[in-house]
Amino acid sequence: MLLAAGAVAAAPAVVAPAKPAAQQPINLEAASSDFDYKNNSLLFRRVKITQGPMTVSALEASATGLNFDDSKWSLKGQVVIIVPDGRLESNAAQVTFRNNEIVTAVITGTPASFEQKLRDKDKGQLAKGKAGKIEYNVQAGTVRLNGQAWLTDGQNDIRGETLVYDIGKQRVAANPGATEPGGVRITINPKAPPPGKTTPAQAAPTKGPTTGAKPPPKETKP
């Protein structure tokens, strides 16, 4: 009986699986709202929409009906979209809800920006990107940067007209399908040595006169 009781006590607790995004509630908060029932339109100021780990906030948001099953929302002013391990910021955005979940977010700005924490990297290292237009596809897990796009992993920079960043694989494709040369520019920056260590060039001794050496004796005339 004691062995059986010990086995039961040692059994791991059963953890309920996380609900799919579509089954998680969507919460909306706003400083004020204006419902136009005649034209079936909504206007929110200082709005914040949350579903699971994702959050969308802006100074102003408008939509055609409070329906997240199939609707598009236009956001303006200080748009911030929080995604797993990252965030997007811009002046304006179009967010599409389908089947009660966010499926795409297209942000535009001067420029729009994106950042995500890199796994298996130095603590706090980020992948950062900027472009005139950024499209975040939630289901595909990709971020597409269009228009003078720039992306860095904190050490190396890549530029192109279009950059497609895969969040899960942490891979970037530059100008996919393009054939013209010179469309992609990559800058590889040398990695700085850890504090307290010197590079071989810094450690190499410099040639020059030895400190404290006596000058040769002067010749005396007979």
pLDDT digits (tens, 9 = 90+) for 184-204: 777 777 666 656 665 555 555
Which residue segments constitute the domains of the chain, with CATH numbers given? 20-191 (2.60.450.10)
pLDDT at 46 over 50: yes
Instruction: Tell me the pLDDT tens digit for each residue of 131-187.
Output: 999 998 888 888 889 888 988 877 788 888 888 888 878 788 887 776 666 677 777
Model pLDDT, residue 201 = 53
Distances (CA, A) of 104 to 40, 73, 97, 198, 200: 23, 11, 7, 48, 50
| Strands 101-117, 86-98: pairing kind | antiparallel
Model pLDDT, residue 13 = 42
Q: How confident is the model at residue 213 (pLDDT cuts 50, 70, 90)?
A: low
3-class state of residue 8 by DSSP: helix
Query: CA 88 to CA 115: how far, in whole Å?
Result: 7
